[in-house]
Amino acid sequence: MKIRPEQVSDYGAIAQLHTLAFGQSSEARLVEKIRHSVAYVSDLALVAEINCQIVGHILFSYGQLVGKDTVPVLVLAPLAVLPQHQRQGIGKRLVQQGLRAARARGNSLVTVLGEPAYYSQFGFEPAVRYGIESPFPVPEAAFMVKLVGQNSDLLHGKLQYAPAFDDVIQEATHAEA
């Protein structure tokens, strides 16, 4: 398996991958919106390939932690693996490679909204432990952070997702209502 940054020629396969992995196209549309925004971090948009076929994708983009100061942080979303390749360690390798790259870039904090049992294996912890809030109601255990830089434990505040996430946030907010 090879992990590398996504390329323009991969975009169609990545959209199809997200649609198959999630059973709908919301995440594929989110990826496209992020790519066309200032939140996009091209070297943190990674694909996993097996025999020249894209089987996994992960995207880290910029958000802001708004507190005493406003600080850029990374948001891990989405992560997808083709259904027939799931449970083979592909997602794990993508997350590990992405976190290493985030640390090497000098980023301080990565946030994720996901399954605690899965993301805790990478060192993600409930964000509430660090005084970091989700911008919308979610289970405390599902909104997590990973400290990847120096002094990242000093950061506090509320996450502000990039505008590309607005539709996803609106759907999540309406689902809670």
Q: What is the CATH number of domain 2-176?
A: 3.40.630.30
What torsion do the CA atoms of 6, 20, 91, 124 make, to the nearest 10 degrees?
A: 100
Each residue's pLDDT tens digit, 40-89? 999 999 999 999 999 999 999 999 999 988 999 999 999 999 999 999 99
Burial class (CB in 10 A: 0-12, 13-18, 19+), 162: middle
For the stretch 109-137, pLDDT in tens is 999 999 999 999 999 999 999 999 999 99
Q: Report the SS3 class of residue 68.
A: coil
Annotated domain spans of the chain: 2-176
